[in-house]
Amino acid sequence: MKQKLFIAAGLLALIVSCDPPKHGISRVANIDPYSYTINKRTESENGAVVSAHPLASKVGLSMLKRGGNAVDAAIATQLALAVVYPNAGNIGGGGFMVARLADGKLVTLDYREMAPGSASRDMYLDEKGNVREGQSMNGHLSSGVPGTIAGIFASMKYAKLSFTALIQPAIDLAERGFVLTKREAAAYNGLQADLKKYNTQPNAFMRSVPWKEGDTLIQKDLAATLKRIRDKGQAGFYEGETARLISEEMKRGGGIITAEDLKNYKAKSREPHVFNYKGYTIVGMPMPSSGGLLLHQMMKMIEDRNIGAFGFQSTQAVQLMTEVERRAYADRAEYMGDADFYKVPVKALTAPEYLAGRMKDYDPDHAGNSTQIKPGQATGHESEETTHLSVLDKDGNAVSVTTTLNNSYGSKTVVGGAGFFMNDEMDDFSVKPGVPNMYGAVGGEANAIAAGKRMLSSMCPTLVLKDNKPYIVVGTPGGTTIPTSVFQTIVNIIEFNLSAEDAVYKPKFHHQWLPDVLNIEKGFPQAVRDSLQQRGYKFAERGGIGRTEVIRVLPNGKMEAVADNRGDDDAEGF
Ligand code: GLY
């Protein structure tokens, strides 16, 4: 059967490649990369894909239409994002996949980046023990060993179509190009100074004249790398020519990733982090992501408090959610890190008596205080630029994938001759215990740097099951705001009965223990802000929080897919 699909998919790829050119360029997977629409919401019966870029969602949908399952669509979407959304879509970064397969099996894959073999705890400190500004955030030294391609191949065992079919649209998009939106052209223009600073060789994004809307971005080096991966599998990235290009780039720019580090990288299959909330089964990512554990703590701390009766964005509900966020993030700073290196007390941190104890000093009349509320006695921070995709198919395969380069365009270093950005994920470690990283979060021993260790993440790809069947597929980028956005989206749907659009689009808020401020998005209700201010809360207004992509199953069995309106995110279904 698999063989037949392989041949059929191969023929289809050939036919697709031979489509008549439009604007001189062939269509890709039956999609016109020169003129495409953005859909914010779909209702469908056979399958749905939501991601940060319309071309990537459409590529994913094309795989479902060819008979692929949700895993096929997720793989093709990720590969397409690596081409059309290089600020976060990637092959030079890492990610996590949480899936529920049609037979009910739960799968979580960890393809988080890994500290290189010669990395060490104090590698970003000077002789006085002070942090060398910027070294963990930009340029060659900020990169961990990439995991995305290993993760994609680890997920292939759940796919139906051939890898050749799944990667072809990404190759075509890189080789033939796609048209830039105004927003994308502006982003590349804003990147030029950093590209000059952090690159040793020219690349497709550098230009002497400004990019403008309607320009075509062609990425020949990236296409060649993707072809090596198509032809040689995982070794097309971690060995041979691509590995040589990466390790030479590192040598030229003072990075430390070697060919051996690349060869040693492995995606890891993990035990899903599963818990029950009022009869729903919630499936999340375990360490090295803090996402599943934080979500578990926050949901359990509200479970017996009748939050639904308080009402959506009522003062009581926002205060309660803020205070559980504060307590969970205090624990994150103290206890969370790569569990292969540090014993994370997951059981203790989620014990009902522990969580009840954490809420003993909750006072609905007054703001909590992060100097008094410390991590509990149980025995970093991340960038905003990450990306999420949600997929659901008619057989009940549900896939939630979040991937990242960390900062926007990662380290800003493109691998010379290979055409892709490397991550700056080393900054997600606690580069010096107790010192906040670029987004203000602190960490300690649990998340200190060590060779071969994976840096703590906040990525929170999540599934909510009802009667053991997929009900909600959700996730978002947003650094430390990721788990609080997922928390709010789920609570908005299952406690406040909001539509999926309202659950995603309405202004969000975020508290992460330190700094002790309540971050709110523009449009957050002024009356709630005023009454919380009277209780002693301090506020910081900020731009968009997250770009949440959600699919939920409606009472009539249809799949409702909603793409966040904070960007050009796109929902497709059929
Ligand atoms: N770099 C974002 C995260 O892993 O949480």
Q: How far is Cα 420 from Cα 152, in angstroms, rounded to an integer?
A: 16
Mean pLDDT on 360-379: 88
Q: CA–CA distance from 532 to each of 1, 323, 519, 543 (Å)?
A: 60, 12, 12, 20
For residue 312, what are its two tokens?
């959506």
**How many C-beta atoms lie closer than 10 Å to residue 79's C-beta?**
29
Residues 549 and 278: their CA atoms lie apart, in Å, by 23
User: In the chain, pLDDT over 90 holds for what percent of residues?
Assistant: 89
Q: What is the pLDDT of residue 435?
A: 76
Choice among 1-10, 351-360, 361-370 with the minimum mean pLDDT: 1-10
The band of 381, judged by pLDDT with boundaries at 50, 70 and 90, is: very low
Report the relative pairing of strands 41-44 and 559-563 from DSSP bridges.
antiparallel
pTM of the model: 0.94
12 pLDDT exceeds 70?
Answer: no
Q: Tell me the pLDDT band of 137, cut-offs 50, 70 and 90.
A: very high
Tokens of 308: 């639904």
Q: What is the pLDDT of residue 512?
A: 94
The domain ranges of the chain are: 54-262+407-447
Cβ–ligand 1 distance for 479 under 6 Å, the answer yes
Q: Which atom of ligand 1 is nearest to the CA of 112?
A: 4
Burial state string for 2-13 with b = 16 or more CB within 10 A and e = fewer than 16: eeebbeebeebb
Measured CA to CA, the distance from residue 105 to residue 402 in angstroms comes to: 20
* Confidence (pLDDT) at 443: 77
pLDDT of residue 441: 65
Å from CA of 487 to ligand 1 middle? 17
pLDDT of amino acid 440 = 63
Query: Measuring from atom 3 of ligand 1, which residue has the nearest CA?
Result: 457
For residues 321 and 270, the answer to whether their CB atoms sit within 8 Å is: no
In this model, does residue 372 exceed pLDDT 50? yes
User: What is the rounded distance in angstroms from the CA atom of residue 4 to the CA atom of residue 226?
Assistant: 24
pLDDT above 60 (res 558): yes
Mean pLDDT throughout 94-105?
98
383, 406, 460, 462, 514 from 480: Cα distances, Å: 7, 11, 10, 16, 11
Q: With 50 as the cut, is the pLDDT of residue 14 above it? A: no
The two three-digit tokens of residue 441, written as one number: 């979060």
Is residue 22's pLDDT more than 90?
no
Q: Is 557 exposed, middle or buried (0-12, 13-18, 19+ CB in 10 A)?
A: exposed
Q: Is the CB of 382 under 6 A from ligand 1?
A: yes
Report which DSSP code applies to 157.
G
Q: How many residues does the chain have?
A: 574
User: What residues contact 146, with CB distance under 8 A and at least 6 apart?
Assistant: 90, 91, 92, 93, 94, 113, 237, 265, 422, 423
Per-residue pLDDT at 26 exceeds 70: no
Widest distance between CA atoms in the chain: 68
> Residues 198-212: pLDDT tens digits?
999 999 999 999 999
Does 17 have pLDDT greater than 50? no
* Band of residue 374 on the pLDDT scale cut at 50, 70, 90: confident
Q: Is the pLDDT of residue 9 over 60?
A: no
Query: CB of 291 within 8 A of CB of 459?
Result: yes
pLDDT at position 4 is 35
Of 102, 109, 104, 106, the C-alpha closest to 78 is 109
Of all atoms in ligand 1, which is nearest to the CA of residue 386?
2
pLDDT tens digit sequence for 502-541: 999 999 999 999 999 999 999 999 999 999 999 999 999 9
* pLDDT band at residue 24 under the 50/70/90 scheme: very low
For residue 290, which atom of ligand 1 is closest to its CA? 5
Three-class DSSP category at 144: coil
Q: How far apart are CA 316 and CA 337, in angstroms?
A: 32
User: Which atom of ligand 1 is found nearest the CA of 458?
Assistant: 5
Concatenating the DSSP letter of every residue in 78-106 gives: HHHHHHH-TTT--SSSEEEEEEE-TTS-E
Report whether residue 383 contacts ligand 1, using a CB cutoff of 6 Å. yes
Q: What is the pLDDT of residue 376?
A: 80
Q: For 310-334, what is the mean pLDDT? A: 97
Give the whole-angstrom CA distance, residue 570 versus residue 552: 15
Residue type, 487: F
Distance 190 CA to ligand 1 centre (A): 23
The pLDDT of residue 377 is 74
Q: Which of 25-34, 271-280, 325-334 has the lowest mean pLDDT?
A: 25-34
Mean pLDDT of all residues in 428-451: 82
Dist. CA 426 → ligand 1 center (Å): 10
Separation of 240 CA from ligand 1 center, angstroms? 29
398 touches 102 (CB < 8 A): no
CA angle 23, 24, 29 (to 5 degrees): 85
pLDDT confidence of residue 496: 98
Protein residue with least CA distance to atom 4, ligand 1: 457
- E strands present in 444-502: 462-466, 469-475
Any idea which residues carry the catalytic annotation? 386
- pLDDT on residue 155: 98
- Two tokens, residue 263: 């060869």
